[in-house]
Amino acid sequence: MAIISMFYGIIISMYYLDKKQHNLPHIHVKYQDEEAVISIIDGQLLDGALKINKLKLVQAWIEIHNEELMADWTLAINGETIFKIDPLK
């Protein structure tokens, strides 16, 4: 697992070689005691739970950084080093 960004108490990570759990590109999100898996493609919640206001922040961040996230996803599923992505400002 690699943390790729943090903002407003939200931790965004991507796991290496993680294409078996959910066959589509996704990120793992932690906020306080909540954990969620969110699609990079459309920002939909795939698993877990996240406060709605934090989910909207993550979805906005995904939209802004979609190309970078897809590049990191390609690296991660191949076991390669991924890059940090700017936080939501």
The pLDDT tens digits for 21-77 are 657 899 999 999 999 999 999 999 999 999 999 999 999 999 999 999 999 999 998
| Tally of domains within the chain | 1
Strands (E) in the chain, as ranges, are 2-7, 10-14, 26-31, 34-39, 45-48
Q: How confident is the model at residue 2 (pLDDT cuts 50, 70, 90)?
A: very high
Cα dihedral 25, 72, 30, 60 sign: negative
> Is 84 part of a structural domain of the chain?
no
Q: 6-42: buried (b, 16+ CB within 10 Å) or exposed (e) per residue?
A: eeeebebbbbeebeeeeeebbbbbbbeeeebbbbbee
> What are the tokens at 64?
């802004």
Structure pTM?
0.92
Q: Which residue segment(s) compose the domain that 10 sits in?
A: 2-77
Confidence at residue 38, expressed as pLDDT on a 0 to 100 scale = 96
Q: Is the pLDDT of residue 1 over 90?
A: no
Q: pLDDT for 74-86, tens place per residue? A: 999 888 999 999 9
